[in-house]
Each structure stands twice: as C-alpha cells, then as structure tokens.
Structure 1
Amino acid sequence: MRIRDCNWMQIETYLQRDDRVVLPIGSTEQHAYLSLCTDAILAEQVAVDAAQAIGVPVYPALPFGLSPYFMAFPGTVSLRVESYLALIQDMLDSVAAHGFRRILIVNGHGGNQPAASLAMQWMARNMQVRVKFHNWWNAPKTWAKVREIDPVASHASWMENFSHTRIAGVGQPQHQRPMIDLERLRQMHPGEVRRYLGDGNYGGHYHKPEDVMQALWQVAVSETAEVLDGPWL
C-alpha cells in the first residue's frame, strides 16, 4: 500500500501488527528517450507491486540522487554527496521514530550506492532496527533474467523501457547500440560524457516486445517481495 493512500491513524494501526516499511530511492537524470524520472518511477513501482500482497506501506520514491556525470543533459538534478547522505539519514531517523523496525530501501539508481554504506553505519547506531538495501534491477534473479533475454543491456536501454517510463509520442530507435567503455566514462567531465554518449544509452537495443518486458517485471517484483518477506534475522 502506498503511504499517500493512508492517513496517520491507519499507519498507527498498521504498526500494531507489523513493523516493515519500504523506502524507494531513485534519481532524476537523462535516460535517452525515456523519462528523466525512470529510476524513481521503477523503484517505486516495483516496491508497490511487491508490497501489495503483503500489505506493507511504501513511501513515494526519493526522486533525486547522485548523478554529477549527467549534468550536461538538461533536466538532470544531482545532489551533493553530503546532502544526499544527510537526507537518507533523516528518512531513516523519521521512520524509525514512528516504530518501523524493518526498513527495505529499494534502489533504482546505481549512483546511489553511498546510501547503502550510510544505511549500514546508521544501523550500527540503531541496533533495534534492521535495514536492507535492494538494487532491484541487478538483484541475482532479475539480473539473470536480463542476461537470459539479452546480455547487451545497460542504462537507458531496453531493460529500463517499461510502460511506466515511456514518454507519450516519443519513438524508440530500432538498432542495437554497442556497449560503451565504462572505465573511460568514469574519467570524463559532464560535457565529455554528453559528447561520448550521444543520446544517453550505454548500450543495447532501445526496446523489447511487451511480453518480454512483462516477464522481466514479474521476476523483479517476485524477487523484491522475497526480500521484503524475509528473513530479517
């Protein structure tokens, strides 16, 4: 259930029977022909779909993350690392203060990995709370399904092209783009990144048939639900 569909009294009642909660985190950054908010959209939707049968509340996805390398692409928002980590800590402090004791962070953006380290540090100081950090798109079963479909897949390619992330009226290229050199990319300034990437796709086809994407989505939802359902030690 989405927190936005609940009032405070319903959450108070929920906490009498369960202490799990989901915090999706994403980003607002270029995704070639897909929505700038792709990472936030998918993190929240996979969390909502996974939590639905269990009845665990899901917060709105944090829409901003760490994307300094994409700042030459209009629309991208990137937080400073110190701002971002302070924000993650405030989110954890807030939900823990209300009595949530099992917190699942569902991450949709590779650049957000510092949040995983922060969560471990925070948990060491809050020993009554368990925190899991789940990269939904490259979790073992989901990534295996991606590789089964097509091993050439990455940022802004077909593996992020779902009905939730497409822009109405925007077509998708029909070719497969070769994979970029990630080590080279990591050494570039934002302007160089834009010139190197072109439209922003890191490599792979831009889209796949709807039934293929639905099969991938079901694996991702099921795997996320398994993480949420436990064990929690």
Structure 2
Amino acid sequence: MDLTEATWTDVRDCETDLAVVPVGSTEQHGPHAPLGTDVLAAETVADAGLERVDREVVRAPAIPVGIAEEHRQFPGTMWVSEETFRSYVREAVESLAYHGFDRVVIVNGHGGNVDALREVGASVTRSGETYAVPFTWFEAVGEHTAEMGHGGPLETALLRHCEPELIREDRIEEAREGRAEGWGDWLSYTNLAYDAAEFTENGVVGDPAAGDERRGEELLELAADALARLLEAVAERDVSRPADR
C-alpha cells in the first residue's frame, strides 16, 4: 500500500505492521545524471523489493533531502545537518509506529546517510517504540559494490535500466573526462578531503560508461531480492529487547 495514494480509511483497515521508507538525497551526480538519482534509486529498489514479498507492506513517501554538504560546491545540491536529518527520519518513523507500523525498513540510496540512519534505527528500537533497520541498496549487490563511486557505473547503470530518459547520454564523455577514480584524497589511511570538489572536477567518481542497461537490470535484481529477504526477516523477527545480564 502506497501512503501517497491511499486514504486514511485504507490505512485503518489494512492488516500489517510492516512499513518501508525510501530515503535519498538531492545532490549533484555529474553532468550526465539527475540531482534526484539517490531518491529515484531508493524508490525503485523499494518498489521492486515489495513486489517480491507475499505480504502487505506500507510504502511511505520518500525523504528526498539528506546529508550531502560534501557536494555543496555543485549548484542544485541540497542538504540538511546530520542532527536535522536524524530528527526528521526518527519522527517520520515514529509517526508510522503511532499508527501500528512498528516494524520499519528504511531503504537508503545515499552513502552520506548511512551512519545517521544506523543511529536512528538503534535509537527508535532501543526506545521500544518500533523496530527499524536501514538497508542501503548498493551495499547489497555483491561484487558490484566495490565499484559504487558517485554518478559512476552503478548509479548510471540503474538509471539506464529504470529511467533511461534521465541520463544525458551526450554528456557521458564529459562525465568520464572530469571524473575521479576513487572517493577522497587518502594518505596514511586518512581521507584528507571533506568536499567532493577537492578531488573530482565534475562530481563524478568512477566510469559511468561502465554502467550499461543490462548491468542496471542485474543490480536491481540483486538489490530487490536482498530487500525482499530482509522484509521477510523483519516481519518474522522477535523484536523484543534482550533482558539485562
């Protein structure tokens, strides 16, 4: 059930305690991919995962702005502080729990959100209000994960499969020419860079030409299958908190 399209009486009458919340970011993804790449990816994977489970699940609207100040030099990028992001996601999850959806999977499409979402999951779970766990799609695609980058092969491939009209194919060479090969500026196991513009001319990390439509189809299959397994596990999990030792 999609909350955007449902009525309140539909929600009242549904018989599930499981919900999915897509979370992304509105930020640069190079000259060839849209600012909404992370939101689109989170929504696409969430919907594909829901299609694979044989149970009712509530699908909340996506949260489109995340922790992305590292891309601030690129026009159009939006961001909020980590504190604001954690509070917003936490309260959104708590509002679902108020209506009885006290098992929540947060489907994430942005690397900058990962640590904060883990904190939110722990916080709301330990409070006893709900059980929440984050799922980041590009961490669930096997050997492909190592090539994640930014606006690189994985994100470009997924969009070429799901939203091909949004990729500016005539800018792929431009994206390749200004790209960085890896994320950050590393020395002594320390990333010396705080902002993406310090190490990538146009915001791209990795080769977008290595992400074709067929690869995107495989990525979606892997991520959606992994999400479906997680949803089933969360639905069946004993979510009571352990007793003090």
TM-score normalised to structure 2 length = 0.81
Most deviating of 193-202 and 4-13: 193-202
The Cα shift of 1:165 comes to 5.1
1:38 and 1:165 in contact (8 A); partners too: no
Q: Point out where structure 1 has 5 or more consecutive residues left out of the alignment.
A: none
Partner residue of 1:24? Answer: 22
The Cα shift of 1:45 comes to 1.3
Please say if 1:57 is aligned against 2:62: no
Please say if 1:232 is aligned against 2:237: yes
Partner residue of 1:85? Answer: 86
How much identity, in percent, do the aligned residues show?
A: 24
**What is the alpha-carbon distance in structure 2 between the residues aligned to residue 222 and residue 8 of structure 1?**
30
Most deviating of 26-35 and 203-212: 203-212
Partner residue of 1:42? Answer: 41
2:148 and 2:155 in contact (8 A); partners too: no
Partner residue of 2:214? Answer: 211
Amino acid at match of 2:116: P
1:186–1:61 CA distance, 2 compared to 1 (3 A): farther
Amino acid at match of 1:10: D
The Cα shift of 1:194 comes to 2.0
1:105–1:152 CA distance, 2 compared to 1 (3 A): closer
Residue in structure 1 matching 2:192, options 180, 187, 193: 187
* Aligned-partner SS, 1:105: strand
The Cα shift of 1:23 comes to 0.7
Residue in structure 1 matching 2:201, options 198, 204, 207: 198
The Cα shift of 1:59 comes to 1.4
The Cα shift of 1:186 comes to 4.5
Partner residue of 2:95? Answer: 94
The Cα shift of 1:102 comes to 0.8
1:157 and 1:205 in contact (8 A); partners too: yes
**What is the alpha-carbon distance in structure 2 between the residues aligned to residue 5 and residue 53 of structure 1?**
20
**What is the alpha-carbon distance in structure 2 between the residues aligned to residue 165 and residue 117 of structure 1?**
31
**What is the alpha-carbon distance in structure 2 between the residues aligned to residue 178 and residue 194 of structure 1?**
10
* Aligned-partner SS, 2:172: coil
1:51 and 1:57 in contact (8 A); partners too: no
* Aligned-partner SS, 1:131: strand
CA RMSD of aligned residues (A): 2.3
1:34 and 1:165 in contact (8 A); partners too: no
The Cα shift of 1:79 comes to 0.1
2:185 and 2:199 in contact (8 A); partners too: no
1:165–1:202 CA distance, 2 compared to 1 (3 A): farther
Amino acid at match of 2:37: T
2:25 and 2:38 in contact (8 A); partners too: yes
1:11–1:225 CA distance, 2 compared to 1 (3 A): same
Amino acid at match of 1:117: E
The Cα shift of 1:114 comes to 1.0
1:8–1:214 CA distance, 2 compared to 1 (3 A): same
Partner residue of 2:243? Answer: none
Most deviating of 97-106 and 162-171: 162-171
1:126–1:155 CA distance, 2 compared to 1 (3 A): same
**What is the alpha-carbon distance in structure 1 between the residues aligned to residue 46 and residue 232 of structure 2?**
12
1:22 and 1:103 in contact (8 A); partners too: yes
Partner residue of 1:121? Answer: 123
1:171–1:186 CA distance, 2 compared to 1 (3 A): farther
The Cα shift of 1:95 comes to 0.5
Amino acid at match of 2:212: P
1:76–1:89 CA distance, 2 compared to 1 (3 A): same
